[in-house]
Structure 1
Amino acid sequence: MIPELDYASQKEMVRALAAALARSAPVECVETHISWVLLAGRDAYKIKKALDLGFLDFRSRAARAHYCAEELRLNRRTAPDLYLEVVGLGGTPAAPAIATAPAFDYAVRMRRFERAQVLDALAAAGRLRPEHIDALAETVARFHAGTAAAGMDEDYGSPASIAAPVRQNFVQIAALLQAPTEREQLARCEDWAETSHAALAPIFAARRQAGFVRECHGDLHLGNVVLLDGRPTPFDCLEFDPALRWDDVMSDVAFLVMDLHTRGQPQLAARLLDRYLAATGDYAGLAVLDYYLAYRAMVRAKVELLSAGRPCPAATAYLHYAFALTQPRRGGIVITHGFSGSGKTTRTAALVEQLGALRLRSDLERKRLYGYAPLARPDAAAQERLYSRSAGLATYERLAELARTVLASGRIVIVDATFLRAAERQRFRDLARETAVGFAILDCVGPPELLKQRLEQRKRAAADASDADLAVLDRQLADHDPLLPDECALAVRADAAEPLANGLAPQADAKLRCLLGLKPPE
């Protein structure tokens, strides 16, 4: 049996392996602080370094074998076509060979991909598209729904376990900052984190009890998502420390949202969060989101500072982002008004990005409330129950509850529903008054012929949660409450004949922002 390799001898072995692989294809070696990755032809071989870095210990052959197996298991949850197998490295350290026995070391064999297809590279090149974000939100939501939840006999996700790494970050960052203004910002962030943690402790515990602490990714930023076969695919899950991946699902999402924001993509950050929440319904998670956003920003600030060995612009940007989260924010309410097919959903999708808002769709929440998937098409009897008066009242009740939850997080909420009854509109106007936020009505109008045409197109596409058809539209046209004079003063008109995808015309956008108490966009 070949003795255990130390780091120096392992490094020589990797060079010898690269030379052996190069006989059949050019080889490129990519090195990180914990591994080497040999890129050879269509394959990539990831070898863990025989190091003890404090937060991980890969010095023994057994440990490297174990963590290679864990890396394969964990990453095949999201990237089964990327993570192929664990291979043994046999022969001798001077003349190593892949997949020969007995093995003196191990590697994870992966499918090679182009670095330009990683989402951080796409963002830097201006090629990260809304459709990528939508697919990523769906992927993460599906991943979180399918991964294991922490048991109550485990400490993962407890208030104490959440606080420990947050506090450690502040200690480590403080030792690396020099500028008085940055040290002051850090101190204020630390005070805010402590105060927030104390207030959120019961919520952390309740979310753990409810199953929101799961075996997540742990390092879910844009640099760990690749566009594989056209679909965003998370990879490089944290395998070496379970405590870093067994976390609240909102902490996983927060990393992506924070990363998009700090890369100058706030609109895509808003879109990602909106799509994720629409898919999962976890609006209650907004209560802890800012805490996790700040935590993830501090993690990246620490990484940048440790890498640079001194203060640097990237770390400062993360610190500024975290500090901004400590400042009070005021939300707002936008409700839509209009018949089916008038463009409410398309208009509000654009407003989510432009206002940094979150959207509640009656079509989705009605189906969620009654246990239907978004694209389910209930039979006639079920539809009669689903769209009964009592179901309608329950749906608007649920929308109001969720709107209150969004407002409590300091965010603008857009409620996408027909709002054809004055009483329904008044309820949300009262909520705005109660919570002291701005209120606006997005009045979507259009000729009946155009609305009917759109409903027919939507029915054929079968890609939307709405079940509205021509019969529904006819009933709406025959029986509705027009906007009252005082409501008209709060309304922003959006004509269905105008382009939908770009949001509102400048004059309408200015009025909407004024009603919400927002500054004009820069």
Structure 2
Amino acid sequence: MIVTRNSAAFRYHGHLASSEIDELEYASLRIFECRRGLLEQRGRLGFVRRCHGDLHLANIVLIDGRPVLFDAIEFDRNIASVDVLYDLAFVLMDLIRYGSDAAANRVLNEYLARTPEDNFDALALLPLFMSMRAAIRANVLLTRLDDQDHSKDIKKQAQAYYDLARRLICPSPPCLVAIGGLSGTGKSTLGRMLAGAIRPPPGAILLRSDVMRKMLFHVNEIDPLPVAAYHSGTAETVYQKMTSKAVRILEQGCSVIVDAVFARESERSAIRSAAGNMNCNFVGIFLTADLETRTKRVGQRSGDASDATPEVAARQETYDLGAVDWTIVDGSGPPEQTFDLSAALFASDVQPTKAWFTP
């Protein structure tokens, strides 16, 4: 197995602490044994297939603003046939290695939005997959130490990958973040800003009620729905499905951000209870903004999953929100300000740090 071969190579190179090598191997094999059944099931479902095989950042180039992959493992079909998430894990790990946590999170969320639902039941494999990829990079670098002119720099790089492998194999507990607020308060923008900064890597999975509703009606994300699709019965179904999916992700050890209006006390209570039942940390944020700001933002939207209009935003002013027991955050200012106000709410074990972000 790759884990064992990595450990043997680390011991052979002699540059790393033996006790740490043993700890990494033990943790990796423990997860492997725990997830062996899932790995085998993934193979039967067709998720193990011919992939790129070596998808680190040095094998990706931007051409005309689009990522182009090269130097794939084309010489051996068996070596290149891996779980698709193991292929993805290489680029996720490398982005994290170079401090682009938010970019790694965006890649993961964009990938999940375009792939079969079964991938949500395999997110528990990511810590093992990303750790193995980091260990492989460390070993590859250590084989180059004969080049004395660059040996110091190479050893430093190898150590960084090795330390990352050890960190990724022991992820911190996941958390559930719920972001509520009327249309135009900045929920989705805040969710994207927070997602890449929340532990464990590669950050939180984003769930939007607007997207969930479009999926329910089997339409494209940006296709408008009729008013009838927004009656109370449908809303209840959307919130139930969103809560169920959040629990499904938390069970895999990944953090989740749920983005919805959450205008009713019952909706807010249900998502908080879901976190309590999972025994995970919960952060509830309710964004506010004046009607003028909300109307302006909603009116400027294009290519978005939300069907809210300025008229909808105005109508929401009459909502009876009841007792809001989440932290109320002013979302009327710039996104960075809302981010800073929200980031201060997190416990130290999941405290986010500001990272690269593109709306």
- TM-score, scaled relative to structure 2: 0.86
Which deviates the most, 392-401 or 276-285? 276-285
Match of 2:76 among 230, 241, 248: 241
Report the alpha carbon displacement of residue 228 of structure 1 after superposing the two structures with TM: 0.7
The 5-angstrom pairing of residues 366-377 of structure 1 reads 366-377=213-224
Match of 2:329 among 473, 477, 493: 493
RMSD between aligned residues: 2.4
Aligned letter for 2:18? R
- Partner Cα distance (2:257, 2:290) in 1: 24
Instruction: Give the match for residue 449 of structure 1.
Output: 292
- Partner Cα distance (1:264, 1:291) in 2: 20
SS in 1 for 2:72: coil
Superposed CA offset, 1:285-313 (max 9, x none): 31111111011111111111112258822
SS in 1 for 2:53: coil
Match of 2:234 among 378, 391, 394: 391
Does the Cα contact within 8 Å between 1:443 and 1:493 map onto a contact in 2? yes
- Is 1:322 the counterpart of 2:169? The answer is no
Instruction: Give the match for residue 357 of structure 2.
Output: none
- Is 1:223 the counterpart of 2:223? The answer is no
Does the Cα contact within 8 Å between 2:124 and 2:254 map onto a contact in 1? no
Q: CA 1:404 to 1:520, structure 2 compared with 1: closer, same or farther past 3 Å? A: closer
Does the Cα contact within 8 Å between 1:440 and 1:492 map onto a contact in 2? no
Superposed CA offset, 1:234-260 (max 9, x none): 222210111232221111211011101
Q: CA 1:388 to 1:505, structure 2 compared with 1: closer, same or farther past 3 Å? A: closer
* Unaligned runs of at least 5 residues, structure 1: 1-163
Report the alpha carbon displacement of residue 262 of structure 1 after superposing the two structures with TM: 1.2
SS in 2 for 1:247: strand
- Is 1:295 the counterpart of 2:132? The answer is yes
Instruction: Give the match for residue 338 of structure 2.
Output: 504
Percentage of matched positions with identical amino acids: 32
SS in 2 for 1:167: helix
Instruction: Give the match for residue 36 of structure 1.
Output: none
- Is 1:419 the counterpart of 2:253? The answer is no
Superposed CA offset, 1:23-82 (max 9, x none): xxxxxxxxxxxxxxxxxxxxxxxxxxxxxxxxxxxxxxxxxxxxxxxxxxxxxxxxxxxx
Instruction: Give the match for residue 307 of structure 2.
Output: 467
Report the alpha carbon displacement of residue 390 of structure 1 after superposing the two structures with TM: 3.5
SS in 2 for 1:354: coil
Q: CA 1:387 to 1:202, structure 2 compared with 1: closer, same or farther past 3 Å? A: farther
- Partner Cα distance (1:299, 1:363) in 2: 40
SS in 2 for 1:337: strand
- Is 1:199 the counterpart of 2:34? The answer is yes
Report the alpha carbon displacement of residue 425 of structure 1 after superposing the two structures with TM: 0.8
Does the Cα contact within 8 Å between 2:106 and 2:196 map onto a contact in 1? yes
- Partner Cα distance (2:40, 2:173) in 1: 27
Aligned letter for 1:482? G
- Larger RCO, structure (CA 8 Å, separation 6 or more): 2
Superposed CA offset, 1:380-431 (max 9, x none): 3xx52x4343432232222222222332344432111111111111111112
- Partner Cα distance (1:367, 1:263) in 2: 35
Instruction: Give the match for residue 9 of structure 2.
Output: 172
Superposed CA offset, 1:84-106 (max 9, x none): xxxxxxxxxxxxxxxxxxxxxxx
Report the alpha carbon displacement of residue 326 of structure 1 after superposing the two structures with TM: 3.0
- Partner Cα distance (1:520, 1:231) in 2: 29
- Partner Cα distance (2:31, 2:218) in 1: 34
* Unaligned runs of at least 5 residues, structure 2: 355-359
The aligned length equals 342
Which deviates the most, 424-433 or 398-407? 398-407
Aligned letter for 1:350? M
Instruction: Give the match for residue 207 of structure 2.
Output: 360
Aligned letter for 1:481? L
Does the Cα contact within 8 Å between 2:127 and 2:171 map onto a contact in 1? no
- TM-score, scaled relative to structure 1: 0.61
Does the Cα contact within 8 Å between 1:347 and 1:503 map onto a contact in 2? no
- Partner Cα distance (1:457, 1:367) in 2: 21
SS in 1 for 2:346: helix
Does the Cα contact within 8 Å between 2:285 and 2:342 map onto a contact in 1? no
SS in 2 for 1:175: helix
The 5-angstrom pairing of residues 16-27 of structure 1 reads none
Aligned letter for 1:330? P
- Partner Cα distance (2:289, 2:24) in 1: 49
